[in-house]
Amino acid sequence: MVESKPQNLIEELKARNIELTIQNQELQLAKDKAEIAAQKLNLLCDLSLVGYFIIDCRGKIVKFNNSGLALLGKTGDDLLNFTFSQFITKKNLPNFNTFLLKVKETNVENFCVTELTINQEKQVLVYLTVRFLEKEQQYLIAALDRTEKKLLKNILPEKESIFKEIQRIGNIGSFQFNISTNFLEFSQELRFILGFHDSIPLNIIEKWLDIIHPQDREMMELYLQECILNQNLFRKEYRIIRKNDGEIRWVDGWGEIIFDDEANELSMIGVIQDITDRKLAVEKVQNAETRSHRIFESSKEGILILDAITGQITDANPFLIDLIGFNYDELVGKELWEIGVFKNIAASKEAFIELQNKEYIRFEDMPLETKAGYSIDVEFVSNVYIVDENKVILCHIRDISDRKKVDLALKERSQLYFAMFEKNQTPQLLIDPMSGNIIDVNSAAAQFYGYSLEEFKLMTLSDISTFPSEQILEEMKKFTITGPSYFQFIHKLASGKTCDIEMYTSPLSISGQALLISTINDISKRKLEEERLVQLNNKLKEVNVLKSQFISTVSHEFRTPLAGILSSVQLLQIYNDTWDKEKKEKLFKQIFDAVQHTTALLDDVSLIDEEQTSKSFFRPTNIQLLPLINEIIEENICVSETNQKVILKSNLDIKNYYMDSIMIRHIFNNIISNAIKYSSKNITIDLNEIDNKKIEFIIKDRGIGIPDDEIKYLLDPFYRASNRGAVQGTGFGLSIVKRFVDLHKGQMLIESVVDKGTAVTITLPYLQQ
C-alpha cells in the first residue's frame, strides 16, 4: 500500500471534480441566461398584458406606457404630475411604502397585490411586479389589472430604460439595419459590446463588418448576404475585435429580415449577445476533461467507475488497484458486490439501488478488506454523472485510517476544550478577529450578558460594545500579532444596562482558523471604587492646599500683632525709667490694640470649623436688635480710632427679634469693620421692613470698591480682592458671615464699583418671638 501523502492528493482530486461540476453548471447557466434574456426582449417587442411605470425614489411617475396610462384613467402627459402613491388606496398605502423600501434594500425583484383608486371612485385590483434600478435610482413597476382578468392587446411601446435594464442583465444589445437606405442603428448596450464610443456615427454596414475578426469576416459577409437575399432568419456565432480596447470577444447574433410593404423598404432587426464567458467555459470544460484523465491516473485515492444501470465496474485507477491488491482485469467487468473486498453483498446491492434513486451515496466510515486479508477503514462516496448521454457512477474510495486517529485525538481535545471553556465560571468569548463575529460563548457569558447561545452566534463584538466597530476590529487584529493582550471596554447587556469590563485575550488556532479567546471580568464596582478614590484624593489635595494656605495666612496674620507686642514690651523694659508717662501710655495703647487684633483673629479662626457654625450651634434668643447694632458700631469706631461716622437709619417698629446674638454680632462686626478699613468717608446703615416678613440691612461705603470680576469669589475662604493694598485680614471673614446668614435662612448680596464704594445687602426672615 502506497503511503505517500494520500490525504493531499485526495483533496486535490475532490477539488478538481468540484471545479469540473461548477464549470459544467456555469456553462449551462450561461446558455439559460442568454435564452431567458432573448425571451424577455421578444416579449417586450410583442403584445403586452401589463402597464409599465418608472417612478423615482420620491414616488413621482417619470415614464409610462399606453397600458399604464389606460389603467390609471389618465390622458397625455398629465400623469407626469402625479406620484404613484396617489393612486394607492389609503388602507394599502403603508404596506405599499414598506414594500418599496424592502425592494430597494434587497435589490431583488418582488411582487405584491394592492388596490388602486381611479378617478377618485373606481377601485381596481392590480398585481404589481417591482424592481429597483440601482444605477438610475428608480423603480420599474409592472401593473396587471386583475379586476376582470382580461387580456390586453395593445402594442407595448418600448421604453429606453426598460430596454437598458434587460439588455444589461443579459449582456444583449439590439440593432436595426435598413437595407434599403443602408442606415444602421445600435442600442447603447450594443455599442458597449462592440466597443464603439457614443460620439462615433454608425450609418453604413461596413462599420459593423469592420470589427469582425479577419478570420470570420468573409464567412459572415457571405452569410448575411444569403440571409438578406432569401429573407431568412439568421443566427451565427463569430468573433469580433472590440474597437475601444482591441480585445477579441465571441458574440452570438440572431434576428430576422422584415419587408415594409407601405414604405417598400427591407430591414434587418435583431440582437447580439456577448458569449465570451460561455465560450471560455466550454474551453474550460475541455481542458478540465484532459486534466480529469490525468488526475484519474495519478490520484492518490481510489477511483471506480461503474455502469449506472448494471453496476458493472468499467474502470479503476492505479491507486485503487494497489490499495486492494486486485489487478485491472480482476476488477473491470465485475459487478461491485462480486468483489471480495465488499463482503456484505446484500448491503452493497441495497446501496446501489439507493444510489440509482438519489444519484448520491456516502459512507463516511466502512471497513474494506484487501485481497491479502488486511482491513482498511475507508470513506466511500458515489455520484451519478452523465457522460456522452450515458449515466455512470463515479466512486471515490479514500483511506481514512490516519484520519480516524486524528479524529480520535480531536475528540479528546474537544472534551478538554469543553471542560476548560464551557465549565469555566468566568465569561469567555470565542471571536473571529477579522470580522469581529462571535463564534462561540460559554454558559457563564450567556448568563452574564443575558443572550442565548443562538443569539450570540448571530452577533458581532460591536453588538455588545459601545466602542466604534472600526476601533474594535483594529484592536482585535493587534491581539493576533502581539499575543496575549489586555483591554478595557464598556459592554452592553441584553437588559440595556452597560458595565465596565476587562478583557484578557489570547490568539489560538482551531482547524486552521485564527481565532481569539477572550476572558471577561466585570469591573464596574472596581471602576466606581476607583472613581470614588480619585474624588477622595482630589478632595484631600484641596484640603491640603487649604490647610497650607490657612497655616500660611494665620501665621502671617498672627506674626504682625505679636511682633508689635514684643517690640513694645522690649522698649518699655529698656526705657521704662527714662520715658515720660505719655510715651509709655502710647506703647500701652499699641500693646492693647495688638492684643485686641489677635483676639479678633482667634475668633475668626475658631469659626472656620463648620461644626461651630452648624445648626447645632445656632441658638436664637430674644434680642434688642437696634441697641446691639449701635454697640457694634461704637466698638468698631473706638478700635479704629477714625474720624469716620457710621450713620444708622432704622424704619423698624419692633424692638425684640428672635436671632442668634453671637452670630448677628459677628455678621455686622465683620461687615462694618471692612467698610471702615477700606473707606475714609462716612458709612450708612439702613434697616427696613419688607412685606412685614423680612428685615433688610444695607451697609454702604464710598471706599476703594471691588473689581467686578472678583465679587463672585469674595465668599470663598481665604479669598481677598486684588486691590486690598496693605490692609490686614485673613480672607475668611465673609465666608463665615455667609454661613451665619444661611443659618438664619437669609440672603446676602454684594454690589461694588471700583473707586466708588461697596454695598452689602443682608435680608433676614422676620423672626419675632
28 is written with which cell numbers? 449551462
Whole-number Å distance between alpha carbons of 476 and 436: 8
Q: Taking 90 as the threshold, does the pLDDT of residue 167 lie above it? A: no
Q: What's the first-to-final CA gap in the chain, in angstroms?
A: 118
More confident residue, 113 or 610: 113
Distance CA 117, CA 88 (A): 6
| pLDDT beyond 80 at 236 | yes
Residues 623 and 729 occupy one common structural domain: yes
One domain for residues 598 and 643? no
Q: What is the model's pLDDT at position 149?
A: 44
| Strand ranges across the sheet with 390-399 | 313-316, 302-307, 390-399, 375-387, 360-369
Under the banding of pLDDT at 50, 70 and 90, the label for residue 762 is very high
pLDDT at 467 over 50: yes
Give the H/E segment covering residue 239.
strand 234-241
255-279: average pLDDT: 78
**Where is the domain boundary, 461, 493, 522?**
522
Residue 500 host element (H or E): strand 498-510
**Residues paired with 273 in a beta bridge:** 172, 252
In terms of domains, do 584 and 633 share one?
A: no
What pLDDT is stored for residue 612 in this prediction?
47
Residue 680, classed as helix, strand or coil, is: coil
Both 553 and 470 in a single domain?
Answer: no
pLDDT of residue 2: 43
The predicted-structure confidence for 71-82, as pLDDT tens digits, reads as follows 888 876 788 888
Q: Are 316 and 328 in contact (CB under 8 A)?
A: yes
Which H or E run contains 753? strand 747-753
> Residues 553, 624: one domain?
no
d(CA 390, CA 308): 8
Do the domain assignments include residue 244? no
Closest C-alpha to 1, from 258, 273, 376, 365? 376
What single DSSP character describes residue 341? T
- In three-state secondary structure terms, 599 is helix
What residue type is assigned to position 566 of the chain? L
| Cell numbers at 383, concatenated | 455520484
643 touches 699 (CB < 8 A) = no
How much is the pTM? 0.32
114: confidence class by pLDDT, cuts 50, 70, 90: confident
Helix (H) or strand (E) holding 689: strand 683-690
Classify residue 657: in a domain, yes or no. yes
For 368, other C-beta atoms within 10 Å of its C-beta total 19
The answer to whether position 155 is within a domain reads no
CA dihedral 450, 454, 455, 460 (to 10 degrees): 110
Based on its alpha-carbon atoms, the radius of gyration of the chain, rounded to whole angstroms, reads: 51
Each residue of 49-79: b (16+ CB within 10 Å) or e?
ebbbbbbeeebbbebbbebbbebbbbeeeeb
Q: What is the pLDDT of residue 633?
A: 83
Amino acid at 205: I
**Residue 204 pLDDT level (bands cut at 50, 70, 90):** very low
Count helices and strands (H / E) in the chain: 20, 27
Helix/strand/coil (H/E/C) assignment for every residue in 161-205:
HHHHHHHHHHCEEEEEEECCCCEEEECHHHHHHHCCCCCCCCCCH
Burial class (CB in 10 A: 0-12, 13-18, 19+), 336: buried
Q: Is the pLDDT of residue 143 over 50?
A: yes
Q: Which CATH number does the domain housing residue 558 bear?
A: 1.10.287.130
Cα 175 → chain centroid: 48
Under 8 Å between Cβ of 678 and 758: yes
451 occurs within a structural domain: yes
Dist CA 433 CA 483 (whole Å): 12
More confident site: 548 or 360: 360
Count the alpha carbons within 13 Å of 526 in the hemisphere toward its beta carbon: 7
At 369-417, the pLDDT tens digits run 778 877 788 887 888 878 777 788 888 888 887 777 777 766 766 666 6
Task: Return d(Cα 483, Cα 695) in angstroms, integer.
Answer: 75
* Residues contacting 236, CB < 8 A, separation 6+: 220, 223, 252, 253, 254
DSSP-derived letter for residue 221 is H
Contacts of 589 (CB under 8 A, 6+ apart): none
- Whether the CB-CB separation of 100 and 92 falls below 8 Å is answered with no
Which of 373, 44, 302 minimizes the C-alpha distance to 187? 44
Domain final residue pick, 459, 494, 522: 522
**DSSP class of 363:** E
- For 260-266, the CB contacts below 8 A with 24+ separation are 264/180, 265/178, 265/179, 265/180, 265/181, 266/178, 266/179, 266/180, 266/228, 266/231
* CB contact at 8 A, 128 and 112: yes
Closest to 658 in 3D by CA, of 740, 744, 746: 744
The pLDDT of residue 429 is 87
* Confidence (pLDDT) at 345: 43
Nine cell digits for residue 3? 503511503
Q: What is the mean pLDDT of residues 79-96?
A: 86
- Cα–Cα distance, 549 to 553 (Å, whole number): 6
For the record, the C-alpha cell of 263 comes out as 414604405
- Per-residue pLDDT band at 3 (split at 50, 70, 90): very low
- CA–CA gap between residue 17 and residue 288 (Å, rounded): 9
Q: In this structure, are residues 720 and 711 in contact, taking their beta carbons and an 8 Å threshold?
A: no
Top mean pLDDT of 66-80, 174-188, 243-257, 501-515 is at 243-257
User: Does residue 644 fall inside a structural domain?
Assistant: yes
Q: Does the structure show a pLDDT above 50 at 493?
A: yes
User: Is residue 153, in this structure, part of any structural domain at all?
Assistant: no
- With vertex at residue 327, the alpha carbon angle to CA 323 and CA 330, rounded to the nearest 5 degrees, is 120
Angle value at C-alpha 547, between 543 and 553, nearest 5 degrees: 140
Residue 482 is placed in which grid cell? Answer: 502581539
Q: Is residue 404 part of a domain?
A: no
How far is residue 348's CA from residue 366's CA, in Å, rounded to a whole number? Answer: 12
Q: Among 575, 603, 631, where does a domain finish?
A: 603
CB count within 10 Å of CB 214 equals 8
Residues 624 and 748 reside in one and the same domain: yes
- The per-residue pLDDT of the chain, averaged, comes to 77
pLDDT reading at 58 higher than 50: yes
In the 8-state DSSP scheme, what is residue 143? Answer: E
User: Is the domain of 538 the same as that of 517?
Assistant: no
Name 185's bridge partners. Answer: 176
82-97: b or e for each residue (b if 16 or more CB lie within 10 Å)? bebbebbeeebeeebe
What is the per-residue pLDDT across 701-738, written as a single tens digit (0 to 9) for each? 888 888 888 777 777 666 666 666 556 555 667 777 88
Residue with cell 465569561: 427
Q: Are strands 757-765 and 694-701 parallel, antiparallel or unpaired?
A: antiparallel
Q: Are 749 and 613 found together in one domain?
A: yes
Compute the Cα dihedral for 426, 432, 436, 438 and give only its sign. negative
CATH code of the domain in which 510 resides: 3.30.450.20
Count of structural domains within the chain: 3
Q: Is the pLDDT of residue 196 over 50?
A: yes
Alpha carbon 231 to its chain centroid, in Å, reads 63
Cβ–Cβ under 8 Å, residues 231 and 259: yes
- Residues paired with 141 in a beta bridge: 53, 130
Please give the Cα distance from 430 to 409 (Å, whole number). Answer: 21
Mean pLDDT of 479-501: 80
Do 613 and 759 share a domain, yes or no? yes
**Are the CB atoms for 550 and 542 separated by under 8 Å?**
no
The predicted pLDDT at position 744 comes to 86
Range of the domain at 561: 528-603
pLDDT tier, 150 (very low <50, low <70, confident <90, very high otherwise): very low
Of the chain, the percentage scoring pLDDT greater than 90 comes to 2
Are residue 591 and residue 619 in the same domain, yes or no?
no
Measured CA to CA, the distance from residue 259 to residue 267 in angstroms comes to 6
The C-alpha atoms of residue 632 and residue 665 are separated, in whole angstroms, by: 7
Query: Are 469 and 569 within one domain?
Result: no
**Residue 136 clears pLDDT 80, i.e. is over it:** yes
Supply the pLDDT for residue 35.
Answer: 59
User: Are 356 and 308 spatial neighbours (Cβ–Cβ below 8 Å)?
Assistant: yes
Mean pLDDT of 667-682: 83
Residue 596 sits in the same domain as residue 448 = no
User: Sheet of 110-118: strands edge to edge?
Assistant: 61-64, 51-56, 138-145, 122-133, 110-118
Per the domain annotation, does 639 fall within a domain?
Answer: yes
DSSP state of 421: I
Q: What percent of the chain has pLDDT over 70?
A: 76
**Whole-angstrom Cα distance, residue 758 to residue 756?**
7
The pLDDT, as a whole number, for residue 575 is 81
Per-residue pLDDT tens digits for 347-368: 566 666 776 677 777 777 777 7
pLDDT tens-place string over residues 273-324: 888 888 887 777 777 777 777 777 888 888 888 887 777 888 888 888 888 8
- Could you tell me the three cell numbers for 514? 485564527
| pLDDT of 187 higher than 70 | yes
